[in-house]
Amino acid sequence: MNARKRWVLVVLPLTLAMLACTCSSQELFPTPTPVVVVSERVEYAVEDSVVVATPTPLSEEEIADVDEEDALLVNLYQRVNPAVVYIEVLVNEGGTLVPFGSGSGFVVDEEGSIVTNNHVVEEAEVVQVTFSDGAVVDARILGRDPYSDLAVIQVTVPPERLTPLELGGSSTLQVGQRVVAIGNPFGLAGTMTVGIVSALGRTLPAQVLQDGGSFSNPEIIQTDAAINPGNSGGPLLDTRGRVIGVNTAIRSMTGVNSGIGFAVPIDTVKRIVPDLIENGVYHYPYLGITSDNRFTVAELAGPLDLPVTQGVLISEVKPDTAALQAGLRGGDREVEVMGMTVRAGGDIIVAIDGTEIFVFDDLIAYLVRETEVGQEVILTIIRDGEELQVPVTLGERPATDGP
């Protein structure tokens, strides 16, 4: 009695293919049955029996969790998006106002104050704001701060037209925490992206100002939420809809999102924006030193025979500064390290007000976060192998200088 012929019909949801096989023995390797896509279920027919396989269903609890997460994001967008604006900058060319650039911003009070990035509006002759409902109004610049890359503009509209956002906190952020960005990338208004805090405590590379000065922006939040040109100035939010940062830059070889975006922390915004609203500027405390940021003290400890492996090695003390008045010392000789000239022999700052300093960015961050002009701080320094406590009364940072 002849055995029944076996056959298999495989149904796949995503792939359409014809399986073929060239074999030396048809008995050992019979021609497979073609695969045909007809639905999202898989049927196997074996010796007159049919078995139907379906994807494992989600439990009611899992479905509820997914629905709750979706509802959370939908609700967040509906609450926050009315406060996020599209900013267009116009400049005068030959007597005609023409578009120069654009970005994002968000409302912070009922007086019409809108926070954005300094680099969005710094070249502006006319600033126009478009709200989520399509209304377009002119805005004036209240204040700008190139060091933090923050600016405040103001619109004149009835308070009921404004939806100020709640400002959260950035000091308790954790890597892995979910975040949301809302802005206008490439002019696409009201775009929302979701990601996580991918790193904390970043320092943006030194930015060169028009008159040749430079600055670094400390304690930056890094996120993988998609940020593209046009997102600048828009809010970075936690999942409760509270602002935790102002999107300011991306790191990319192409000029578009590559998974690494940066935001100014909201604690910095809270400190600087009130002064921008009231005075138009923010006054930074100033120590008056330079340090070679090509190397850390840990890297120089061996070549320069330093007694410590952390801190800030002072290269130069600038004239007429708090550092000079306090008697701090810069380098007194030049030494070649790895083919580069380094100024050696200066004081090494290892702590400020008892807070340890490991690298130059730590000193910048402490000065920006914890001090103000005229405040006295205690620097712990290493000089000629000896630890000293040096009181310093901070001055005010010049318009285009470092710390």
> Could you give the residue numbers annotated as active site?
119, 149, 232
Q: Are 144 and 121 in contact (CB under 8 A)?
A: yes
Phi, psi at residue 165, to the nearest 5°?
A: -90, 150
Name residue, tokens 């899992």.
62
10 Å CB burial of residue 237 (0-12, 13-18, 19+) is buried
- Residues across the chain: 403
Report angle CA 324, 328, 332 to the nearest 5 degrees: 100
Cα–Cα distance measured from residue 205 to residue 202, given in angstroms and rounded to the nearest whole number: 9
The closest alpha carbon to 241, from 149, 130, 106, 369, belongs to: 106
Cα–Cα distance measured from residue 89 to residue 224, given in angstroms and rounded to the nearest whole number: 27
Amino acid at 259: G
Cα–Cα distance measured from residue 215 to residue 403, given in angstroms and rounded to the nearest whole number: 8
User: Max alpha carbon distance in the chain (Å)?
Assistant: 109
Radius of gyration in angstroms for the set of CA atoms belonging to the chain, rounded to a whole number: 30
10 Å CB burial of residue 191 (0-12, 13-18, 19+) is buried
